[in-house]
Amino acid sequence: MKKMKVIMLKRLLIILCSFILISACNLDTVVKDSVEFSGEGKYWRAKYIYDEKMYRDKKVNWIEMQYKDTHGSNSNLNLNDIDIQLKSRDGVIKGNLGKMHVQVIGNVIKFLVGTVNTTTYKEDRFELRVKFLDKEDVVKLRVT
């Protein structure tokens, strides 16, 4: 009987230690303010700006994209010809910039998007796929 109690106690101790180790390994930092995920592809520079307060109030955040042409202008781009896809661990957002509320300032295109994660962490990675002018670019976004 005493031997059985010792075995049960050892098992309980192993389970408890395993639980503590698993809990300690999840050190992701929940975004509680604003954070910028940025990256650069072959043709585009991009930022996904997640603002926790803005998302809580309006259920949106925004993306800024800059076309890296040699003239520093995106005047030869038609917004109707630009399709985007924002992918994360929890989902995908797709759209055509010509059908979105877009602001163009110089060579920067800004537009609103919802969030694709149930919870956003500073360690998250996003992939922004841009199809335009018979080309495609993939921009990996992360906190820099």
Residue 20 contacts by C-beta under 8 Å, 6 or more apart in sequence?
Answer: none
CATH number at residue 90: 2.60.40
| Domain-located, residue 54 | yes
pTM: predicted TM-score of the whole model, two decimal places: 0.76
For the CA atoms of the chain, what is the radius of gyration?
Answer: 22
pLDDT tens-digit series, residues 78-90: 999 999 999 998 8
Higher-confidence position of 74 and 129: 129
The secondary element (H helix, E strand) that includes residue 35 is strand 34-40
| Domain-located, residue 79 | yes
| Helix, strand or coil, per DSSP, at residue 14 | helix
| Domain-located, residue 78 | yes
Higher-confidence position of 34 and 2: 34
pLDDT tens-digit series, residues 88-134: 988 899 999 999 989 998 889 999 998 778 888 999 999 999 999 89
Tell me what the pLDDT averaged over the chain comes to. Answer: 84
Split into its structural domains, the chain has a count of 1
| Domain-located, residue 68 | yes
Higher-confidence position of 67 and 23: 67
Comparing 39-48, 107-116, 132-141, which segment has the lowest mean pLDDT?
A: 107-116
Q: Which domain holds residue 75?
A: 34-143
| Domain-located, residue 6 | no
Query: Please, what's the b/e burial string for 71-91 (b: 16 or more CB within 10 A of its CB; e: otherwise)?
Result: eeebeebebeebbbebbbeee
| Domain-located, residue 76 | yes
| Domain-located, residue 21 | no
